Amino acid sequence: MPSDPDRPSETVTGASAADPAGDEILRLLVDTVEDYAIFVLSPDGHILTWNRGAKRAKGYTSGEIIGKHFSVFYTPEERDAGRPAWLLGQAAEHGRVEDEGWRVRKDGTRFWADVVLTALRGTSGALQGFAKITRDLTERREAQEKEQRMLAEQRAREEAEEAVKLRDRFLSIASHELKTPVATLQLAAENLLRAADAGRLDEARVLTGTHRILKSTRRLTALVDELLDVSILSREQAPLVRTPTDIVAVVEEVVARFADAAGPNRIRVEAPATATVGGDPSRLDQVVTNLVDNALKYSPAEEPVDIHVVDEPGRVSITVADRGIGLDEATRARLFEAFSRGANAAHVPGLGLGLFITHQIVARHGGRIEGLAPPAGTGAVFRVWLPKDVQ
């Protein structure tokens, strides 16, 4: 006859009342096990039996504990929250319930327990009580916690090392970049003094020298501004004021500002009459300025820079394309990280923070920025999407 899988098999219930020797062995087994607290609760949660494992885990002798309610093993908070009764209810309803948590020993100390509570039902199906099997997992939990602590410490250490590396890299780049205009300033000024001492200081020399000094000063100012931008952005408190902003007007303003340096017609703009986004006008100016500045800096002076503004559903895209040294794969992968200037751009002045700052601003507007490599393989293309709403 095929066995019914839903019916308990004969072997499990084999130790029956008809087999007193089997009964005794089962009783001995339960009583002797030391690693598990195994005991029986009445349907309302009073303790009916106690084994050696229970005494070892919880500290009570059978004489002290039998007849008491099992809620004495729970913390006051869990007792107040009604957890013991809730667990009995769950076991009664579902047949069993498993639980992990802090339990209280007789001496008041706590241990981390893994508990299985199983409803015991007679052949009639009536609830006769609960089997409660508890394992002390304190050591395992402590080991796990220690491991997690060590992992967290290791992570913190790695992050700190990474921060130190980044700081060193920053100091190295910043000092190199700041020293160059300082060197030109010093050289230009000393040159003027030497010429004066030698009686060679004519008007042409004064003019050239003064222009050199001014140019170096402007470069220093730009570097310092870049540094300040980073420090302002890294402090989150500078809030964005997002208002409806015509990005086309922003683009035109930036292009007008670059017209002198770039020469006439080098920057070409294709845009609708207006395109409104929700943004901070001064920050968006900075985004466009950085992208145009990069395009001019990384491409030959005779090559055009193209700006496209497209009004899309729900957003506006701004594309800045140049025909310069372009973006190789390695550069694209780290494009928006701080100080991650392309290997092919080591000689270009600046701190390598422009795209990092740009990315931060765009992200805080809820927008997106991408650096694309055009299929032709010449030049770099940057595209920014900005949402139209002001939220």
Residues that bind another protein (CB under 8 A): 172, 175-177, 179-180, 182-188, 190-191, 194-195, 198, 200, 212, 215-216, 346-348
Of residues 20 and 349, the one with the C-beta less far from another protein:
349
Q: Taking the complex as a whole, how short is the minimal distance between the CB of residue 321 and another protein, in angstroms?
A: 21
Cα-based angle 48, 54, 56 (whole degrees, multiple of 5): 150
State which residue, 148 or 186, has the beta carbon closest to another protein.
186
Of 109 and 208, nearer to another protein (C-beta) is 208
Whichever of 136 and 322 has its CB closer to another protein, that residue is 322
- Min dist CB 186 to another protein, Å, is 5
Beta carbons within 10 angstroms of residue 289's beta carbon? 18
Q: How far is the CB of 265 from another protein (least distance, A)?
A: 24
Write down the least CB distance from residue 208 to another protein, Å.
Answer: 8
> Rounded CA gap, 95 and 25, in Å?
26
Retrieve residue 185's tokens: 């300033």
CA distance 24 to 379: 87
Nearer CB in complex with another protein: 96/194: 194
- Token pair belonging to 48: 């009916």
The dihedrals phi and psi of 240, each to the nearest 5 degrees, come to -85, 135
Tally the residues of the chain. 391
- Who contacts 372 (Cβ-Cβ below 8 Å, separation ≥6)? 327, 380, 381, 382, 383
Nearer to another protein, 342 or 367 (CB): 342
d(CA 72, CA 101): 14
For residues 1 and 204, which CB has a smaller minimum distance to another protein in the complex?
A: 204
d(CA 313, CA 308): 16
In angstroms, give the least distance from the CB of 218 to another protein. 11
Q: How far is the CB of 388 from another protein (least distance, A)?
A: 41
User: Could you tell me which of 331, 332, 263, 351 has the C-alpha nearest to residue 300?
Assistant: 263
Closer to another protein by Cβ: residue 182 or 233: 182
Under DSSP, is residue 199 helix (H, G, I), strand (E, B) or coil? coil
The enclosing H or E element of 356 equals helix 354-364
* Phi, psi of 270, deg, nearest 5: -120, 115
Q: How far is the CB of 206 from another protein (least distance, A)?
A: 13
Strands 267-270 and 305-312, how do they pair?
Answer: parallel
Q: How far is the CB of 337 from another protein (least distance, A)?
A: 21
